[in-house]
Structure 1
Amino acid sequence: MTKKSTILVEKVNTHIVNWLKKYAEIAKVNGFVVGISGGVDSALTSTLCAQTGLKVLCVEMPIHQHKDHVSRGQEHIEQLKARYPNVSSIATDLTPVFETFKNQVPNDFEDKQLQLTLANTRARLRMTTLYYHAGVHGLLVAGTGNKVEDFGVGFYTKYGDGGVDISPIADLMKSDVFALAAHLQVPDSILRAKPSDGLFGDEKTDEEQLGASYDELEWAMLADEHKLADTNFSEREKIVFAIYQRLNKANQHKMNPIPVCKINNI
């Protein structure tokens, strides 16, 4: 079920960079701020932003971060700054903030739910930090979500990494992300790493959390869009398709507009 990207990387690259430049010009901002995680999505997004020639601020925001995530992120940032003079970086250690928050809220809850809630809290602290840097520098927060995460299984935190101004790669499948990242010479250490959201302070992969790989979920997303009959699926495909449908249904609250109670002629 391995998925190979079919996008024309040079054309897609040019299209996204021009879109970013035009949006920034209309918004009358100085450039973009990107949270760097050590993963391929943030590496690609920051590289695309860098190509605009506008100011790009790469922000590290560790919260008990695994050392491999930190080292990959730093490698990417140093490489990007060497290639593009418009790129700068800053590190904001949010570990003390996170620990202070934990000490101020109740924590006597079932462990799985508590850990998930705290993981989402990490993402929301990072969102707040990105908007701080965006505000003082006159920048837009560039989102790093891809199409499978944002519109397939909803694998992101509402008002966390989902809280952004623009989403330059949200119409790219994960296979497209890897193809474009390789074309733009993102470090091999990032291209080889297994995708992980890094919200639990360990190397727990996205596949372990989701129950399926991105290649599999990409296949399921396309199968769902084309309304393919599961009678023709293999046993593994049936499992993956069920996982995709369950997550897609459960996370519609992230993908759809906030419900508004309309008051009509009461």
Structure 2
Amino acid sequence: MQTRAVAAHITDWLKRYARNARAKGFVVGVSGGIDSAVVSTLAAQTGLPVLLLEMPIRQKADQVSRAQAHMADLQRRFANVSAQRVDLTPTFDTFVQTVDTETEFPNQQLALANARSRLRMVTLYYYGQIHGLLVTGTGNKIEDFGVGFFTKYGDGGVDISPIADLTKTQVYELAKELDIIPEIQSAVPTDGLWDTERTDEEQMGATYPELEWAMSVYGHQTPEDFSGREREVLEIYTRLHKAMQHKVNPIPVCEIPKGLLG
């Protein structure tokens, strides 16, 4: 990949989109992970105002320190970047106390994890609206179009997606080109939505390079064409890809026959 050219292309695309949308700039949620670090740096390179939001919810200390270190680094490098910490832990705790958590449900913990992401989406749009900024997504191609590793109306609720056509491997290549701080480049990917540490690989059952391979052969070959780990990975990808269609397809609309509307 021509990393420098790709970075310049995305930066130019962001700048043109913002101007056409008559937006002042961008707001980006910074998690301490590679995707948000790359996106926020690309946004900073536009020269337009960029607001970085750190939105911890019972966050692990290492995630917080990486996010804060990245925000400090970008503010040092770019005069158009500002940063703000919005601690959503009390808000989430109130939510947990308000909804029914005493009764145990099969998907309760996942629902609570997704609630964290949706609280962050609400916060991003609040600050985006009051400052005239575009909510800028941080999802990559594998997450957004491969396995659906994002929360519907959470981190999937954005105005623009600058790196959604790049695989995770390509995002890491961009991170080197953009001089992202080393502790983020070497961090194990995690969505940070759980009280206990759960890496992306543990949740999905495969690494990003494995899923990238599966995405490249999906639709052309089936799991039965392979054996061993390759077969297992393609089975994982196939299952996740089919399950995520409701996230990427248009919302179903019940069309009323014209005769019933007359």
TM-score, length-scaled by structure 2 = 0.96
- Residues 44 and 81, structure 2, Cα contact 8 Å, conserved in 1: yes
Aligned partners of 2:48, 2:251: CA distance in 1, in Å?
32
Percent identical among aligned pairs is: 58
Matching of residue 134 in structure 1 with residue 128 in structure 2: yes
**Equivalent residue for 1:78?**
72
Cα distance, 1:229 vs structure 2: 4.7
Cα distance, 1:146 vs structure 2: 0.2
Aligned partners of 2:48, 2:70: CA distance in 1, in Å?
18
**Equivalent residue for 2:176?**
182
Q: Which amino acid aligns with 1:222?
A: S
The gaps in structure 1 that reach 5 residues or longer are 1-6
Matching of residue 192 in structure 1 with residue 186 in structure 2: yes
Q: Which structure 2 residues correspond to residues 51-70 of structure 1 after superposition, within 5 A? A: 51-70=45-64
Cα distance, 1:11 vs structure 2: 1.0
Cα distance, 1:230 vs structure 2: 3.9
- Residues 121 and 157, structure 2, Cα contact 8 Å, conserved in 1: yes
Which residue of 211, 219, 222 corresponds with 2:205? 211
**Equivalent residue for 1:258?**
251
- Residues 225 and 231, structure 2, Cα contact 8 Å, conserved in 1: no
Aligned partners of 1:57, 1:128: CA distance in 2, in Å?
15
Q: Which amino acid aligns with 1:234?
A: S
- Residues 173 and 218, structure 1, Cα contact 8 Å, conserved in 2: yes
- Residues 63 and 201, structure 1, Cα contact 8 Å, conserved in 2: no
**Equivalent residue for 2:41?**
47
Partner SS, residue 218 of structure 2 = helix
Aligned residues: 259
Cα distance, 1:110 vs structure 2: 3.4
The ranges of structure 1 where at least 4 consecutive aligned residues each deviate by more than 4 angstroms after the TM superposition are none
Q: Which amino acid aligns with 2:177?
A: H
Cα distance, 1:255 vs structure 2: 1.1
Q: Against the structure 1 CA distance between its residues 163 and 22, is the aligned structure 2 distance closer, same or farther, given a 3 Å change threshold?
A: same
Matching of residue 170 in structure 1 with residue 157 in structure 2: no
Matching of residue 98 in structure 1 with residue 85 in structure 2: no
Q: Against the structure 1 CA distance between its residues 230 and 118, is the aligned structure 2 distance closer, same or farther, given a 3 Å change threshold?
A: closer
Cα distance, 1:114 vs structure 2: 1.2
Cα distance, 1:261 vs structure 2: 1.1
**Equivalent residue for 1:28?**
22
Q: Which amino acid aligns with 1:261?
A: C
- Residues 65 and 202, structure 1, Cα contact 8 Å, conserved in 2: no
Cα distance, 1:265 vs structure 2: 1.8
Partner SS, residue 28 of structure 2 = strand
Q: Deviations over 1:194-241 (max 9, x none)?
A: 10000003431000000000110010001115x035454231010000
Cα distance, 1:113 vs structure 2: 1.5
Partner SS, residue 140 of structure 1 = strand
Cα distance, 1:260 vs structure 2: 1.0
Aligned partners of 1:89, 1:29: CA distance in 2, in Å?
18
Q: Deviations over 1:119-146 (max 9, x none)?
A: 0000000000000100110000000000
Q: Against the structure 1 CA distance between its residues 265 and 52, is the aligned structure 2 distance closer, same or farther, given a 3 Å change threshold?
A: same
Aligned partners of 1:240, 1:44: CA distance in 2, in Å?
27
Which residue of 224, 236, 239 corresponds with 2:229? 236
Q: Deviations over 1:82-120 (max 9, x none)?
A: 110000000000000001111111113436521110000
RMSD across aligned C-alpha pairs, in angstroms?
1.1
Q: Against the structure 1 CA distance between its residues 138 and 214, is the aligned structure 2 distance closer, same or farther, given a 3 Å change threshold?
A: same
TM-score, length-scaled by structure 1 = 0.95
- Residues 33 and 56, structure 1, Cα contact 8 Å, conserved in 2: yes
Aligned partners of 2:74, 2:196: CA distance in 1, in Å?
25
